[in-house]
Chain A
Amino acid sequence: MRLSWFNVVSLTLGFAFLYIPMVILVIFSFNESKLVTVWAGFSTKWYGELLQNEAFLDAAWVTIRVAVFSSTLATILGTMAAYVLVRGGRFMGRTLFSGMIYAPLVMPEVITGLSLLLLFIGIGLDRGVLTIVLAHTTFAMCYVSVVVSSRLVTFDRSLEEAALDLGCSPMQAFRLVTLPIIAPAVISGWLLAFTLSLDDLVIASFTTGPSATTLPIKIFSAVRLGVSPEINALSTIMIGIVTVGVISASLVSKQAMVRQRREEQAAARAQ
């Protein structure tokens, strides 16, 4: 199909709008000057300074730990929840359950954060890494369960029945048949939970204590005072990791799709 000039213009402007701010951000992370808006020559010194900045490194370490724990926990709970939603049949309180799965997706973060903080204070739990993990797991599991259940819905149920028919216990059927097939959805659920946790400022601010500062909290308090080249450098690193990750993931999945299609065609021809 030929693109009309209108479509070309809207796509160009649209993607320019989406990407120019990030490109500028990346460019000025290599700026010599402390002033983020005036170009003063190429330098990587802000990266050097960033790596010296212990406060940032500590925060990064806390963030990664929180993200790994909470996304793993969220993936397990979210997959269970998805299974219950799609395959659980009827049970008492099913409506409440699905409501609790979907509500956190649209709940403003300030409310989620506030309510969890009040709970932690109410039960006298010391705030720190543990409370952030609990908080992140709770909202991330809902995202995971949405991702996994959308895969489970299209999952051919007779595959599980075939496994049962061939002598599997329900647990074996899940482990040997269902899980390997829905694995891509479970993995992308984990990745989603991981980035949500890495990214979260509001809920972490509410549920953390003085002992644990995450990277977004650190960045937020730094940028409130204005733009700084160090933050640009940090942002560039984060954008870089995400870009490489997303591009390689999409290449891998595209390749797998192309190969599958080719093999299917070959099989059909060979008949």
Chain B
Amino acid sequence: MNSTVFAPWDDPDQKPLIRFRNVTKKFGEFVAIDNLTLDIYEREFFALLGPSGCGKTTMMRMLAGFETPTSGQIELNGQNIAPVPPNKRAVNMMFQSYALFPHLTVWDNIAFGLKREGMEAGKLKARVEEMLRLTRLERFAKRKPHQISGGQRQRVALARSLAKAPTLLLLDEPLGALDAKLRQDTQFELMDIQEKTGTTFVIVTHDQEEAMTVASRVAVMDEGRIMQVATPDRIYEMPNSVYVADFIGDVNIIEGRATPLEEGQVRIDWAEAQPPLFATTSARFDAGQTCYLAIRPEKILITADQPQSNDNALRGKVVDIAYLGNLSTYHVALADGTIIKAQTANTRRIARRTFTWEDEVWLSWTATAGVLLDR
């Protein structure tokens, strides 16, 4: 392993900063977290991603100390944190609503946690100013929260939770309240600040793009369980289930029956009148096993003539075109009615586009382009 790459999760000697051990959390009959085990390492920017109600916020609130696990154990630096109340934890949280104190100025909001520590005045002032500088808020120190814009409020909340230099910073949908443009800028700013301070960040989000942008690793959650934990590129390129593949980005899922061939090749018979598809996989499939081929639209080549060399080729008719500016997505209907999405980059102006509605086209991709999944 190259030592310059940040990947403590691959290093068996690294001790995790946070360790969830078989944690279950129930609210009455409802199981919010279901027997979950997870390690998060120091200096990581870790994203919990999932639809609302998947349990990601509950995990964060357990880390902050506002909820306690029903069973199992959460360790921070090897210590069980269950008995430590939230005000005694070296963990700070940035709330979704920001939770800025409306009766205090920006300066006092940032100083709030430091004052509780009883930090002496000179040091406190220096620390608050450092935080103001870090978040570019020097000019707004004397303002009250309602006197600044949404983006500035977000930065005050960040500065306030970072001021105490926590070992772990929790961010609950930190960019949810910002508009799209501001959100993108702020994502990079967040990464920048995380890198500068070296704090471990755990972010909760339902926005997959946001998770992919900022995180060093992403955990995709569903109904209280973790479906997959991996780096963003692995999550995207090598999802371990149809759920993950479908949750992250756009994907075509083709269900069929597997027939293993030699050298990790698998033949997929999926429809009566359609030619079989071929995929390469390292996983073992039994003959006749149900399998799912997940193939991203941008991996599919769309051509007018039958391609010569690709492993898989299907014929269909363009039924819909979604023009996205830099990309176009073609919805191609096969003879049996199946719709396959294919994407091409718009390197030419729209008037000279190659395909239009009702055109007969060929779709093709290599055996390694898709991922073959068993669930």
Contact = CB atoms under 8 A, between A and B. Distances in A.
A163 to B, nearest CB: 7
Contacts, number: 79
Nearest to B93: A165
Contacts of A260: 146
Given A165-B64, A165-B86, A181-B103, A158 B96 contact: yes
A159 interface: yes
- Chain B contact residues (Cβ within 8 angstroms of A): what range? 20 to 34
Nearest to B153: A267
Interface in A121-175: 156, 158-159, 161-169, 172
A270 to B, nearest CB: 6
Interface string A186-212: 000000000000000000000000000
Given A164-B86, A167-B87, A167-B116, A266 B147 contact: yes
B92 interface: yes
A270 B149 contact: yes
Nearest to A156: B97
A227 B152 CA distance: 64
A264 B147 contact: yes
Given A166-B92, A166-B112, A167-B116, A267 B99 contact: no
Given A159-B101, A162-B93, A167 B117 contact: yes
Contacts of A164: 65-66, 85-87
Given A156-B97, A264-B146, A271-B149, A161 B86 contact: yes
Contacts of B66: 161, 164
B296 interface: no
Contact of B113 (A166, A177, A267): A166
B111 to A, nearest CB: 10
Interface residues of A, number: 25
Nearest to B91: A165
A180 interface: yes
A152 B147 CA distance: 23
Contacts of B91: 165
A271 B179 CA distance: 12
Contacts of B161: 165-166
Interface in B52-80: 64-66
A159 B102 CA distance: 9
A49 interface: no
A268 interface: yes
A58 interface: no
A255 to B, nearest CB: 15
A165 B91 CA distance: 8
Given A158-B95, A168-B87, A267 B146 contact: yes
A166 B150 contact: no
A163 B160 CA distance: 11
A166 B151 contact: no
Contact of A156 (B99, B116, B147, B150): B99
Contacts of A268: 149-150
Contact of A263 (B146, B150, B160): B146
B99 A161 contact: yes
Nearest to B144: A263
Among B99, B101, B102: residue with most chain A CB under 10 A: B99
B92 to A, nearest CB: 6
Interface string A24-45: 0000000000000000000000
A167 B99 contact: no
Given A161-B93, A166-B160, 10 more contacts: A158-B96, A162-B95, A163-B101, A165-B92, A166-B161, A167-B164, A168-B116, A267-B143, A267-B148, A271-B151
9 contacts: A156-B97, A158-B99, A159-B99, A161-B64, A161-B93, A162-B93, A162-B101, A168-B116, A267-B147
